[in-house]
Each structure stands twice: as C-alpha cells, then as structure tokens.
Amino acid sequence: MLNQEYGPWIRSMAKRMLKDDDLADDLTQIVQMEVFERIQEFRGENERSFPAWVKRIAYSRITDERRRRKGPWCAVTDGRVFELLPSNGIGRNQEDFDDLIAVILQLKSDQRILLYWLFVLGETQEQIGERLGISQQSAHNRIKRVIGEVHSRMSRCTR
C-alpha cells in the first residue's frame, strides 16, 4: 500500500527537486523504508495526518540529498535550499544570480514561502490555494503578483 499510495508522489517530488531519475528511484525506496521503520513513531489522530507525516519524511530526505549535492546555483535561506537558476548556468553571469538572491531575500516571508512552494516543492496553484485556505484563482493571482514583483526588482537591478 505504501508503495502504491505514496511511491509515485515521492518519486515525482524527488525527480523535480533533484533532476535525476535514478536518484529519485533510490530516494523513493529509502523514504518508504524509513516510513516503515518509523511507523511506531506515528501519532496521528485522523486519516489525514498520515499522508502529511509521510510527506514530511520524504521532503526531509530529499532536501538532505539536495543539500548534499547543492552547487553554486542554490542558496540556503532560513534553512531551506532554493534552486534559483538551473545548474547549466543559464543567466548572464554570477551578478544576475547574486541580484536574484538579493531580490528574493527582500521579499516578505509570505512571498518567499509562496515561491518556495511553487518552485522548490513544485506544488500546483490548487495545492497552494489549499495551504492558504483560498481558491486556486486567488492563489494564481498571488503567485502572479509575487513573480511580477521579482521581475520588476530584477529589471531595476540590471539597468
């Protein structure tokens, strides 16, 4: 059941975050084994808490691996790893990367977490809306405003 229910989700998240199919497969198995080994620690009061518990374990393991492998195109902020530019170095130069980090750090914490959910966790607008208790359309509008803010501030940096 664990593999059928959560395996595809874990693999998808690992593949998105690590950009490596083989590593995503390995981490999917590692997470499933860890969930099985730690099942006695689960203290859920309802059926909805188990998926959240599994996802926390998965996210933790994948993030640990990502930190272990992080390269020059990642930034750590508040203990979280943000992949800001692709590892192939697309972008004009290191100054663009530095400007982007500075712009993201200038955003309000709720704006940064929105970008984190969207680009790092790869959540959909609907999932973000559920997290925030708003509709998918409202989530879309918030995301659009935050990305617009980043774009606007980056435009000022590159002039």
CATH assignment of the domain containing 89: 1.10.10.10
**Number of independent structural domains in the chain:** 2
Domain boundary among 42, 69, 96: 69
pLDDT grade, residue 138 (50/70/90)? very high
Domain boundary among 69, 91, 122: 69
Same domain, 65 and 79: no
pLDDT at 91 > cutoff 50: no
b/e map of 58-84 (b: 16 or more CB within 10 Å)?
bbebbbebbeeeeeebbbeeeeebbbb
Q: Average pLDDT of the chain?
A: 78
Q: pTM higher than 0.85 for the full model?
A: no
CB 31 within 8 A of CB 58: yes
φ/ψ region of 33 (left if φ > 0, alpha if ψ in -120 to 50, else beta) reads: alpha
pLDDT grade, residue 47 (50/70/90)? low
Quote the pLDDT of residue 50. 84
- 82: amino acid identity, one letter: F
Distance CA 106, CA 10 (A): 32
Q: What is the DSSP string of 55-107?
A: HHHHHHHHHHHHHHH--TTEEEETTEEEE-S-TT--SS-HHHHHHHHHHHHHS
CB 121 within 8 A of CB 56: no
Distance CA 104, CA 115 (A): 9
Q: For the domain that residue 28 is a member of, what is the CATH number?
A: 1.10.1740
Same domain, 133 and 111: yes
- For residue 68, give both structure tokens: 């272990």
pLDDT at 122 > cutoff 90: no
Domain boundary among 47, 69, 91: 69
Same domain, 65 and 84: no
Candidate from 25-34, 86-95, 114-123 with smallest mean pLDDT: 86-95
